[in-house]
A and B are shown apart, each in its own frame.
Chain A
Amino acid sequence: MKKAGIIMIIGSLLLLGLFKFPLWNIMLGAPQYPDPLGMNIYIQGIQGVQEFDIQNINGLNHYIGMRTIPKAEDMWEFEVFPLVIGIMVGLGVIIGLLGFFGKVSYKWFLGWFILMSVLGIMGMYDFNQWLIDYGTNLDPRAIMKLENLDGTPMSYKPPLLGYQKMLNFDVDSWPATGAYMIFVGMMLTVVAFFVGKYEHNKIKKSNI
């Protein structure tokens, strides 16, 4: 199971990219913003694409009563996410090493993948909940109180994934480099599972 172990280790190490690259990117373009404003969402916090983008997004948001973009210390997620990712990388590497030396079954690789998928889905759910809260829980003294055609208050929740027109803004929300690295890393752990299974079966056959 040497090959499978190495793939497992590489796959889980790819998650480290999240400490360097953004997980998600939201861009806000408008007629007055030919150079769109943008946010990069990292597991440790939110940063502007350009130096002053966060300040300028906050400046716009105050008109419609949205809160300011949270700083890293304002959300527990930005402490927990790096911890979870760190633990999962460690766990993946250990499983990979143990697999490499034949101490654990290849099934552990799939186990890691399932755990990571569950955590990922929970993370996305949490992120979406925050977007809903952020986009709908508005200051009652907002300068502009806009309503939908049916009279309900307009929500400014950015899309979790994809494009949406919000007032004068074109909002694009897409996974960024970090997300692609997790995706590739997680796929590699699945590959490790199948390679492990294949190697396991070969050993079994040669033993017969």
Chain B
Amino acid sequence: MKNTINILITIIMTAGLVGCNNSEDKRGNGGQGGLATNAAEKVYVAPGDHDEFYAFFSGGYSGNLTVYGLPSGRMFKEIPVFSQFATSGYGYSEETKPMLNTSFGFVPWDDSHHPDISQTNGKLDGRWIFINGNNTPRIARIDLETFETEEIIEIPNSAGNHSSSFITENTEYVVAGTRFSVPVPQRDMSIKDYKGNFKGAISFLSVDQDTGRMDIKFQLMMPGFNYDLSHPGRDKSHGWFFFTTYNTEEANTLLEVNASQNDKDFIAAVNWKLIEEYVNNGGGTKMPAEYAHNVYDHDTHAATSTMKKEVLTVDPTKVPGAVYFLPTPKSPHGVDVDPTGEYIIGNGKLSADLTVHSFTKMIDAIEKKNFDGEAYGIPILKFDDVLAGTVKQGGLGPLHTEFDGKGNAYTTFFISSEVVKWKLGTWEVLDRQPVFYSVGHGMIPGGNSREPFGKYFVAMNKITKDRYLPTGPELEHSAQLFDITGDKMELLLDFPTHGEPHYAAGIPADIIKNNSKKFYKLAENKHEHATITDADARVERKGNEVHVYMTMIRSHFNPDNIEGIKVGDKVYFHVTNHEQDFDVPHGFAMIGANNSELLIMPGQTKTLLWEPKKVGVWPFYCTDFCSALHQEMQGYIRVSPASSNIELSWGLGED
């Protein structure tokens, strides 16, 4: 009965609205108010209910990874990855500073691009999510139980780690391909001598299946092109990896013109299984290198950074059959492989057409040795031999393609600002929808796997302009959610995204939500400076270093009065949260600290360094409104002149 009334109301209101809404066409709601469709209902997640999907958006120049729910578009968390994050103290606390260590020293920022969720047998398994840092080449692994960054490894011989961090279908490898070729090893030489002298390193990082730990298995030293994007083969093409190139002209200046001269660039098809075998049999050359490997341990609640000194390189010409070039028109950007592994889609970004290569035809051509010459010793296959088909006039400026698992592909067109749905095999365009504005990547949950969940498509737009209330010149980017269950894509929702999401990875919430950790067990805390019982709360001096072993529980610190600190001391606060309940973090903030606060989860220990500069009595307090007596959760530290001989003393609750 209630439903009938609702439907009646909807019909009546629709009748009134459709007529006056035509002027709204250009905003993308198709001339219909929200009430004309059930779009609102489709994205409405009632208070207290949970979303159907997690969506992990790269933060771009924020260096981080943000977690959203779909279909609501609500943001749940920003996971600090490559950037210091004052909110939690990541990169500021003594425990997490090593995470941002590199061969260049401490690099507190990066440009994160392409998240990819771990897989088993080509299906999302939700163990980890990987993401690349583009600027100072790195790959990070985030644990999906804690939603915290657990590991960051630097990529040597690389620059602009853009064709990354995509994984193979059993998470055997995560790849890192260099967008900028560079001299290998780095040396002082004229930029003009680029051509023929620079190298493009493509790194394959093995992933330990129990711990997730990454290790550079080998680096393939490719010709000095720009390796733009990549995707793994899957199912029938499992064992291969595909990389787009541009600037096969090897220009070193004014690339916008000079790198756009060749009619075709290449998609490099890499038979990584063959190279793996070659390497396992002792192939490859070890070369000196310097790169940091940073690992965070959830038992010690601390990270360590190790500088590695060597990397195994492979010359592709030494492994016959390892690499082939597939000519692909117009500086292809994204390369995407359909769920069956048969079609390799080259998104020629300066073109109106999409080039689709056939894996079967490629293998055929390789067997027949039908080559169209070679580049730096790497065989080039004939364009017509490997071509499966062309999607004609799909739009202008195709960038990326995702799949729904039902035989359809969805390509984003940056220049014509639209998403185009087309059919695999017939190459027929089925639908097109404008996006606002200029879409980069699109994402279908599980889109980079054998089994996509073809319910939603998210367009990550590069230009926001007037989509939201204006906030001055600088705007957040904008994502748009489409329902793709029908013949036509239906725009459901706009939502702002943080930083610049390049790519995103979605996964059904059911796969990971029940594994999500609620808090750390204090009894399992192996931190070197943890204070497990209140009896151990204390202050120790070693020269001018002072170590404060402090506990926190609703609603006090122990100790909360400390005297005997002197100007010029280095005071390390090792603060342990004694709560053992879900969602009871405490914060720790010290006046005048030159770093950040600490946000400490139940059972966790974090360390803040404070170097008092002024004599006086200085307060510290809890920053997270933890309890009814949160405002009382505070303490004082007496700082005496450097020459003072006041003994260290501390206490809690003494009159």
Contacts and interface: CB of A to CB of B under 8 A. Distances in A.
Nearest to B628: A63
Interface in A88-106: none
A143 B629 contact: yes
Contacts of B553: 59
B581 A56 contact: yes
A198 interface: no
B554 interface: yes
Contacts of A63: 628-629
Interface in A30-74: 35, 51-52, 55-56, 59, 63
Nearest to A37: B581
A100 B325 CA distance: 92
Contact of A52 (B580, B628, B629): B580
Contacts of A59: 553-554, 579, 581
Nearest to A56: B581
B46 to A, nearest CB: 15
A118 B147 CA distance: 56
A49 to B, nearest CB: 13
Nearest to B519: A52
Contacts of B554: 59
Contacts of A51: 580
Contact of B580 (A35, A55, A143): A55
Chain B CB within 10 A, most for which of A35, A59, A63, A144: A59
Contacts of B629: 63, 143
A56 B580 contact: yes
Contacts, number: 15
Nearest to B581: A56
A208 B186 CA distance: 116
Interface residues of B, number: 8
A116 to B, nearest CB: 39
Contact of B581 (A52, A143, A144): A52
A58 to B, nearest CB: 11
Interface string B538-559: 0000000000000001100000
Nearest to A144: B628
**Chain B contact residues: helix, strand, loop or mixed:** loop
A201 B554 CA distance: 69
Interface in A130-171: 143-144
A144 B579 CA distance: 21
A63 B582 CA distance: 19
A55 B582 CA distance: 13
B64 to A, nearest CB: 29
Nearest to A62: B554
Chain A CB within 10 A, most for which of B554, B581, B629: B581
A198 to B, nearest CB: 55
Chain B CB within 10 A, most for which of A35, A52, A144: A52
A51 B581 CA distance: 10
A63 B554 CA distance: 10
Contacts of B581: 52, 56, 59
A31 to B, nearest CB: 11
Interface in B600-655: 628-629
A55 B519 CA distance: 14
Nearest to A51: B580
Contacts of B580: 51-52, 55-56
Nearest to A32: B583
A140 B581 CA distance: 27
A154 to B, nearest CB: 16
Contacts of A56: 580-581
A170 B553 CA distance: 24
A143 B629 CA distance: 9
A56 B554 CA distance: 10
Interface in B572-596: 579-582
A35 B554 CA distance: 19
Contacts of A35: 582
A5 to B, nearest CB: 50
A63 B555 CA distance: 10
A66 B580 CA distance: 20
Nearest to A55: B580
A138 B582 CA distance: 28
Contacts of A52: 580-581
Interface string B553-570: 110000000000000000
A157 to B, nearest CB: 22
A55 B554 CA distance: 12
Nearest to B582: A35
Nearest to A53: B581
A91 B554 CA distance: 50
B33 to A, nearest CB: 36
A55 B578 CA distance: 10
A144 B628 CA distance: 10
Contacts of A144: 628
A55 B641 CA distance: 42
A161 B553 CA distance: 33
15 contacts: A35-B582, A51-B580, A52-B580, A52-B581, A55-B580, A56-B580, A56-B581, A59-B553, A59-B554, A59-B579, A59-B581, A63-B628, A63-B629, A143-B629, A144-B628
Interface of A: 35, 51-52, 55-56, 59, 63, 143-144
Given A52-B581, A56-B580, A63-B629, 12 more contacts: A35-B582, A51-B580, A52-B580, A55-B580, A56-B581, A59-B553, A59-B554, A59-B579, A59-B581, A63-B628, A143-B629, A144-B628
